[in-house]
Chain A
Amino acid sequence: MLKATLRSFLAHKGRLALSALAVLLSVAFVAGSLIFSDTVTRTFDRLFASTAADVTVSPKQDLTSRVPTGVTPTLPASLASLVTGVDGVAATHVDVAVNNVTVVDRRNAPVGPTTGAPTIAKNWYVTKRSPVKLTSGHAPRGPGEALLDADTARHKHVRTGDTLTVLARPGSFRVRVVGIATFTTTNPGAALLFLDTPTAQTRLLGRPGAATSIAVDAAPGVSDNVLKQRVAARVRSSAYDFKTAGEQAKSDIDQLGTFLDVIKYVMVGFAGIAVLVGVFLIVNTFSMLIAQRTRELGLLRALGADRRQVRRSVLTEALLLGLVGSTLGLATGIGLAAGLIRLMSAFGMNIKSTEMVIGWVTPVSAYVVGVGVTFVAAYLPARRAAGISPMAALADAEIAGVGRPLRVRAVAGAVVGALGVAALAGCVRATRTAPAASLLGLGVVLTLVATVIAGPLLVRPVIRVLGAVFPALFGSIGRMSQRNALRNPRRTGATASALMVGLALVAGMSVASTSMSKSFDQQIDKTLGADFVVQNSNFQPFPQEITDRVRATAGAGLVVRQRFTPVAARLPDGTRVETTAAGYDPRLDDVAHITYARGDTAAALADGAMAMDLTFAKDHGVRVGSTIPLRFPGGRHTDLRVGALTNQGGSENFGMQGGLFFGMATLQKYAPDGQDSALYVNTAPGTPKDRLRSHLGKTLAPYPQVQVRDQADYKKLVHNQISVLLYLVYALLGLAIVIAVLGVVNTLALSVVERTREIGLLRAIGLARRQLRRMIRLESVVIAVFGAVLGLALGLVWGVCTQQVLALRGLKALAVPWGTIIAVVVGAAVVGVVAALLPALRASRMNVLAAIAHE
């Protein structure tokens, strides 16, 4: 029996190759993402573990904000001398490191990375843990000297002796590069600039006696933990955090984690799509193989093989396929990870491919996914194979699956579909985000399952309509292709399903993201009243110097500053909410249109007052006049009276839960170290907008970190952020299509084989090769378009429901990307044409006589 299985596996290798490719793709993405994240994590683990001091003392961060505030927490440098006296301390170092500076060259071009990685300026000292060593020049001495890291120097063509400008919070200053420091560890992608300690303290922090942390080296024989406890006991202050090297490394990695997580999730998304679509392909391949081998299997049964043996034979084939696919996928995954690592180096993160980490989890997951998916997908066809009666050997080769009624499918599809629609309806009617989102998820899954089950039932009506124009356009060839597609609804349905799943997801996501774009547009139109916004494209805050320059620009009228700070609010209903609040200058009304349910801007920005979102206030029992105790970073706190309630919608986004804001004076009093995040600028009376814009452009030329935007530019900025999501969607679409094409090729190839005699007859009575190819191509197109239409319909429904959930968060606009949808349908037709290439060629090359004589 095993021999028969192996023979059959090898005999069908062409068809199985396509399935193996699907397995390969899913496994490759799973393995690739695991290897990549393992490698990156290990690299940074090593980097942070090797560079972290035995014990680090840093200011405690009691409140953190998801919105950058520009604050660099500090502690007194004198703490170092206190710690030096502790028993077991070998040495202490004062660390002054600031990661929100901008460094520009003589032509005002940024020297640091522009892809999001930080530019870090810090004080220069050397220990055995330093990640860099001085490779040329000398250490910085005095206010005008600096070292630059070698990678940055090379990329930006900076040489020793060049002058750079550092834009830091206290103000910008010039330095001369006096030496180059080279990474001895992996360069994590940041640019490093080193100053001597006093310069760093005064010029970066603006406080001569301050530091950002104290690094403590342990004496031999003293463990990190013991030392940490001794240091903590000596300092005795709750204002500081004490961390051992291990703890410090871990928290550094956690901070980096979010960025790496994004990459991981993207890869998992690809793996998911590949698995999902691949399952359809594998199910279909095995079903077809079994249909083709009905007589053969019947003969095996007639010769005495029992059901279990037949089933096992098919499953063994699946196992072999899974093993082959997983092995190839694992290899491809390694290549994929290597590619990703190289891509990362384009972003400045230099990880050596030779340091690639392949943990035991990777091959295990690869085989579990690959073999598991194949096995699960082959299970149903295997059961069907086992059900073949020995009589099948004697009967005429009847194509399995054609005759069996679809009643079970109809009932199951209707039930699951009804549940799915109910869930989606519930989601649309829900008034709270959390239940709406879970109903949406449930509805999406159920409607997808229902459509897959009922797919074959939809084949007839939908293809009748889609193919209705074929006979008119292509005569009898069109008629035959349309009917060929209808011939085996199960097969057509399953083939189209692969395409459908991918397109449904993509359509849903593109409706959601287009709606988001439109909502943001509307919100910007509605709320932004300023002529210009001066802002960093990453929303990073910028130094006071820039604000001063903007204010002094000729033609600039009103300038309203925006700052953020993390706060913790104790609400009347007893909950404590940590969120981010904004501070504004007075005359906010002139640059923004804010809708108030109660109160007005004056009441909101008044001394001792604040504004809050109406819905949030209602949820927590807050009214106008309520007094809310607020905590600020560094232990500062105050009580603010709610002066106004806003009705903006969408304020829950971006970590700004509750939509809290108050006067700039209040913010500066309780969060004094912040920097401005945005400036809203109006023209002075009598100044044309264009002129102010060009003046601002000149003023801000030395500050490449900020840009001037009018309303249209601002929208573009927001669109670009959403586009990133869309590009991802398109990449997913591409992958789904690649796998779906394999499925269509598979189906057509089998159909061609099954219809050999028919093709022979057609050729004998005068069908030209070209016409035959067209017939197969049209069949392929109609199957692909069927899948696309089903997928788009489903995706549109999902997208509209998703938008309803987003609407609860204030994104009220619905936009359907019709252009994309039409392009997808056209694209599906192209996919059909491409998929038909090989099967059509094969059919047209058939020998007419051999085809007619074919059994």
Chain B
Amino acid sequence: MSTAAEHARGRAEPDGTAARARGLTKAYGSGETTVLALDAVDVDITRGRFTAVMGPSGSGKSTLMHCLAGLDTVSAGQVWLGDTEITGLKDRELTRLRRDRIGFMFQSFNLIPTLSAAENITLPMDIAGQRPDREWVDQVIDTLGLRDRLGHRPAQLSGGQQQRVACARALASRPELIFADEPTGNLDSRSGLEVLGFLRQAVDDLGQTVVMVTHDPGAAAHSDLVLFLADGRIVDEMARPTADTVLERMKRFDTVRAAFDDTSGREK
């Protein structure tokens, strides 16, 4: 938590890596039918930045996120979160790590239906048996404009509001890293923009580190850096992207893909 406090000062300079992977390989199946979802990927996620991971379906972008977040095991290679190597950790340690140092947003079904918005936001800390930092949580809630929705159950909230609550939950424990898996995938464009704005704000104003997996060039344009994945490898990266440049880059994949045309459909 002490490192998180340092980032909170502001986003003057990127100071080191929040997570990195070396030779990260993930294979599904065995023998003849083996499919490589990730093929010896090296990646560094810079602290205090908003990183987007893009790629066509089956490129391995979700798998990369799951491996970096300790949700999935790796077949080969190493992954660090800060200075902690997470490859080889046991389930119990990984669970603690996710609970204390990582925030999550998913495409859908982000909230526990029986808990109110406020209870959902502080859930990771409640599970850990820690007292939330009230001041910080209030700041997050106000930033996301959820003040008057705190007592509501998820079923009483719109999709955009639900995703904002999920965002607040991801931020509430001031994790070292927030992973967002297609956070705008299920939202209409206005709500989507709102959520992207909040993630941007979280990085700029609150000093958080965000990794977002998306296939929407418009969403990727909100990031500082876009990593392009194809067939389990990082094939390109783009700093200060715009929707147009990203779209342009993606189009080139399609032509490449058309040339190979034997991609294995492994996504999620």
Contact = CB atoms under 8 A, between A and B. Distances in A.
Contacts of B99: 765-768
Contacts of A480: 112, 114-115
A771 B92 CA distance: 11
Interface stretch (B49-57, B124-132, B142-150, B205-213): B124-132
Contacts of A849: 66, 71-72
Given A480-B114, A758-B112, A764-B71, A852 B106 contact: yes
A769 B95 contact: yes
Given A483-B115, A849-B72, A761 B106 contact: yes
A768 B95 contact: yes
Instruction: Label chain A's interface by main secondary structure.
Output: helix
Interface in A355-377: none
Interface in A430-481: 475-477, 479-480
Interface in A729-774: 757-758, 761-769, 771
B228 interface: no
Given A475-B129, A476-B126, A849-B72, A765 B119 contact: no
A766 B98 contact: yes
A446 to B, nearest CB: 35
Contacts of A853: 268
A848 interface: yes
A757 B107 CA distance: 12
B104 interface: yes
Contacts of A764: 71, 98, 104, 106
Contact of B127 (A484, A487, A771, A852): A771
A766 B71 CA distance: 10
A476 B131 CA distance: 12
Contact of A768 (B66, B96, B106, B112): B96
B109 A475 contact: no
Interface in A518-566: none
Interface in A806-855: 848-849, 852-853
B41 interface: no
A769 B129 contact: no
Interface residues of A, number: 25
Contacts of A486: 114
A284 to B, nearest CB: 21
B110 interface: yes
Contacts of B66: 849
A760 to B, nearest CB: 8
A271 B115 CA distance: 43
A762 B106 CA distance: 12
Interface in B97-125: 98-100, 104, 106, 109-115, 119, 122-124
Contact of A765 (B72, B124, B268): B124
Contacts of B109: 757-758, 761, 852
B110 A761 contact: yes
B115 A767 contact: no
B96 A765 contact: no
Contacts of A761: 106, 109-112
Nearest to B63: A849
B110 A477 contact: no
Contacts of B268: 853
Contact of B115 (A479, A769, A771): A479
Interface string A311-339: 00000000000000000000000000000
Contacts of B128: 766
B91 A765 contact: no
Contacts of B106: 761, 764, 852
Interface in B172-219: none
A846 to B, nearest CB: 12
Interface in A206-221: none
Contacts of A479: 114-115, 119
Contacts of B233: none
B114 A766 contact: no
A758 B113 contact: yes
A762 B112 contact: yes
Interface in B67-101: 71-72, 91-92, 95-96, 98-100
A483 B119 CA distance: 13
B169 interface: yes
A475 B126 contact: yes
Given A480-B115, A758-B112, A767 B71 contact: no
Interface string A111-140: 000000000000000000000000000000
Contacts of B123: 476, 765
A763 B114 CA distance: 16
Given A766-B124, A849-B71, A853-B268, A476 B115 contact: yes
Nearest to A485: B114
B93 to A, nearest CB: 10
A180 B129 CA distance: 80
Given A758-B109, A765-B124, 9 more contacts: A476-B123, A479-B119, A480-B112, A757-B109, A761-B112, A762-B127, A766-B127, A769-B92, A853-B268
Which 7 pairs across A and B sit closest by C-beta, in order of nearness?
A766-B99, A476-B126, A483-B114, A766-B98, A768-B95, A757-B109, A765-B124
9 contacts: A476-B115, A476-B127, A487-B114, A761-B111, A762-B112, A765-B123, A848-B71, A852-B106, A852-B109
